[in-house]
Amino acid sequence: MVLQTTASPLIPSLSPDPDAEIIARIRAGERELFAELTRRHNARLYRTVRAILKRDEDCEDVMQEAYFSAFSFINQFKGTARFSTWLTRIAVNAALGRLPTRASQGIMAALPSPLTPEEESCARELAETVDQAIDLLPDDYRTVFVLREVQGLSTEEAADALGLSEAATKVRLHRAKAMLRADLHHRLADAYAFHLSRCARVTAAVMAMVAR
């Protein structure tokens, strides 16, 4: 997305959000000012997307997708958080959408090996079950869990990506794990009652990952 800025010079904003004046002017019709927002946030968005995807190939596509979404829904931005935080969350969700099945990545890497064919089948079913449980987490908790436990970002990296403090990131991760444990306990009791003992190694590895 390339937008040329031809509007009058920007006046420093007195709002706690340094982007507030630009956003107001964009909403008033000065669409070309969105280019200024992209210049302000390109570096942060690139670092965030690159941390999640761990490769450069798709970064620009994801950034453009995030910017276009932000521009399209800018009238829905309520200003309860900084624009940079809102934009980063959009980019995080766009980047996560480019990843393969999330839980399968983390679970299969954590499993003991070698596995019997029966255990491999059980592992795939468990990965699908955990994916479903992750998808049901509230957005704030799901993104933290995926960044920390599936993508392997540090607390500092995840906090920076989401515009949170490290303390808030740890709290959300703790709550996400508690929700997952409760959900998985219910799901496993129902779905794996017959062959749970035969998949003990796999199940133990999955639950250890969630409990970490």
d(CA 156, CA 135): 23
CATH fit for domain 20-96, picks 1.10.1740.10, 3.40.50.720, 2.30.30.110, 3.40.50.10490: 1.10.1740.10
Q: Decide if pLDDT at 131 tops 70.
A: yes
pLDDT at position 68, please? Answer: 95
Query: Higher-confidence residue: 135 or 118?
Result: 135
Q: How far apart are CA 99 and CA 153, in angstroms?
A: 15
For the chain, give the mean pLDDT: 79
CATH 1.10.10.10 residue ranges of the chain are 102-211
Q: Quote the percentage of the chain above a pLDDT of 90.
A: 30
Q: Domain 102-211 class? A: mainly alpha
Quick one: pLDDT at residue 63?
Answer: 95
Residue 206 identity? V
pLDDT at 12 over 70: no
The predicted pLDDT at position 11 comes to 43
Q: What is the DSSP string of 15-66?
A: SSSTTHHHHHHHHTT-GGGHHHHHHHHHHHHHHHHHHHH-SSTTHHHHHHHH
Q: What is the pLDDT at residue 110?
A: 61
Res 129: pLDDT? 79
* pLDDT interval class at 198 (50, 70, 90): low
Query: What pTM value is reported for the model?
Result: 0.62
Least confident of 43-52, 110-119, 156-165, 176-185: 110-119
Q: Residue type for 121, please?
A: S
- The gap from C-alpha 24 to its chain's centroid, in whole angstroms, comes to 28
Q: What residue ranges of the chain are covered by domains with CATH 1.10.1740.10? A: 20-96
Long-range CB contacts (within 8 A, 24+) of 69-75: 69/94, 70/37, 71/1, 71/26, 71/34, 74/23, 74/26, 74/27, 75/27
- Of 64-73, 111-120, 145-154, which one has max mean pLDDT? 64-73
Average pLDDT over residues 148-163: 83
Predicted confidence band at 96 (pLDDT cuts at 50, 70, 90)?
A: confident
